[in-house]
Amino acid sequence: METTAIIWAALSAIESVWIVAATIFVILQRRSAQATLAWIFALAFLPVVGIVLYLFLGPRRYEKRKRRRARAQAYVGALHVSDTDGKHPRSDQALHLMRLCENAGGPAARPRTASGEVFLDGKSKYEALSTAIAEAEHHIHCEYYIWEPDNIGTRLRDQLCERARAGVEVRVLVDGFGSSKAHDRFWQSLRDCGGDVRRFNAFTLTNWRPRMANFRTHRKIVVVDGRVGFTGGMNVSDVHTSEFSGDDAWRDTHLRLEGPAVKGLQMVFFEDWFYATDASPDGPEYLRGTEDLPEGNREVQVVASGPDENLDAIHKLFFSSIAGAHERVFLTTPYFVPDEPIFDALNTAALRGADVKILVPAAGDVPLVAAAARTYYPELLNNGVRIFEYGPPVLHSKTLVVDDDLAIVGTANTDNRSFRLNFEVVVANYDAEICDGLATAFDDDLECATEVTLEALQEAPFLRRFIASTARLFSPVL
């Protein structure tokens, strides 16, 4: 009996030391209060599960990697970036957002002009991308989170091979986690043709870190000859096009730019390429001045953010634009786990009388995130926000329309992972025409969606509501 008591006392002492140590460790990370409490809870009371989750999802900033990113940022910042100022936007709100992005987003976020096109399906996007690649004369730069070795992925790789054989410089940067299915043997044919393929934070036997799961590039960027650029929600995968997925093709949005604004995408690519390779192309043929490119008719900014810096430029853009909305806020996102500022901004905009609508998937591909999202619905609904669940098929589009001042197309979801844990990029369009175009697309999407009601949420089974409430506890770390 005495031995048992001693064992229990020892275990209790060990547990107490562990809780104190874990609490001090997490507090010293200086995260948000919500994230700090979530990690303390997980590590203290679910130590085995908490440690595993923390290894994969916890650490966000590593000094060695921060120094390497700083070198990349310094290199890109020293490149030729002079531009004539873009046209002045038509409202004070747009001007304030533009200034915010430039101050928080760095050189890439300098206001520039562009002309371009919005794609609402994979077929049109891949056709436009194929055309741009076929016309390449000097270089093609591609960066993707997911590049599948499927029909679309193989077709695009083979086209890059053809251009590389023709003497065009081809550089491809894919995420080491998201594009893990495309093994080195898949890329060998492109390398044999002279193309350069690199992985962003690759997982290897000699360089494997579980916590690197957070240091991912979620960006989708293509730049051709410094003249044409693409970005948006679509990866390289058959799931995005009806050609191979039929009626199950994902609903997504992508953007093609042409003009001085392409320089912003090029600079973001250069920074990531430098980080991955410790070198980067240089010269006017890569970063063309405005004198070499036709003026566009749209005022835009390329805004990038990632876990290596503390400004969270994309988050600030979303918060400020929603908080300043007067007439409408149309938000489309596959993952909706807002932090407190975004949540309050949406509620406040609706209470002021703005038409606030949120479009999310009916069935998310990450059950824990989808469950957590539903716990935010009741308060939003009570304050006048309208929420719609889209599909099938899967909704993967990431857009935001605010009044006639701003239309955002990019790679960022409305969750903590996109705002603070992934490398993301969006294009902020200060143009009434594109605002109205994306608003019309939003209304068309509502025809394939079902509106969420408080009654339906309250009638959900107890177990589903309990799981959702539990999932919300982990919202800051999802």
Distance between CA 254 and CA 409 in Å, rounded?
Answer: 7
Active site residue 396: yes
Q: Where are the beta strands (DSSP E) in 277-413?
A: 298-305, 328-332, 336-337, 355-361, 386-390, 399-402, 406-410
> Which residue among 240, 308, 398, 404 is the active-site one?
398
Check: CB of residue 236 under 8 Å from CB of residue 150.
no
Residue 433: phi and psi, rounded to 5, are -65, -45
Catalytic pick among 175, 225, 252, 308: 225
Q: Does 312 participate in catalysis according to the annotation?
A: no
User: How far apart are alpha carbons 304 and 114 in whole angstroms?
Assistant: 17
Q: Which residues contact 177 (CB under 8 A, 6 or more apart)?
A: 201, 203, 212, 213, 216
**Among the options 238, 396, 405, 431, which is catalytic?**
396
Instruction: Give every CB contact of residue 477 below 8 A, 6+ residues apart in sequence.
Output: 35, 38, 39, 42, 53, 57, 58, 416
Give yes or no: 403 in active site.
Answer: yes
438: closest CA among 310, 243, 253? 253
Q: Which residues contact 162 (CB under 8 A, 6 or more apart)?
A: none
Catalytic residue among 125, 141, 218, 263: 218
Catalytic residue among 175, 403, 415, 431: 403
Active site residue 415: no
Q: Using an 8 Å Cβ cutoff, are 342 and 322 in contact?
A: yes
Cβ pair 366, 374 in contact under 8 A: no
- 40, 24 contact by CB (below 8 A): no
Q: Give yes or no: 141 in active site.
A: no
Contact indicator for 81, 87 with CB cutoff of 8 Å: no
By C-alpha distance, which of 82, 129, 85 is closest to 107?
82
User: Which amino acid, one-letter code, is at 86?
Assistant: G
Q: Which residue out of 125, 139, 141, 220 is catalytically annotated?
A: 220
Contacts of 74 (CB under 8 A, 6+ apart): none
DSSP conformation class of 251:
B
Label residues 186-217 b or e (16+ Cβ within 10 Å = b).
Answer: bbeebeebebebbbbbbeeeeeeeeebbbbbb
The β-bridge partners of 354 are: none
Of the candidates 300, 327, 314, the residue with the CA atom closest to the CA atom of residue 404: 327
Residue 58 dihedral angles phi and psi, to the nearest 5°: -80, -70
DSSP characters over 395-464: B---EEEETTTEEEEES--EEHIIIIIEEEEEEEEE-HHHHHHHHHHHHHHHTTEEE--HHHHHTS-HHH
CA 179 vs. chain centroid, Å, equals 15
CB 257 within 8 A of CB 300: yes
Active site residue 64: no
Known catalytic residues are: 218, 220, 225, 396, 398, 403
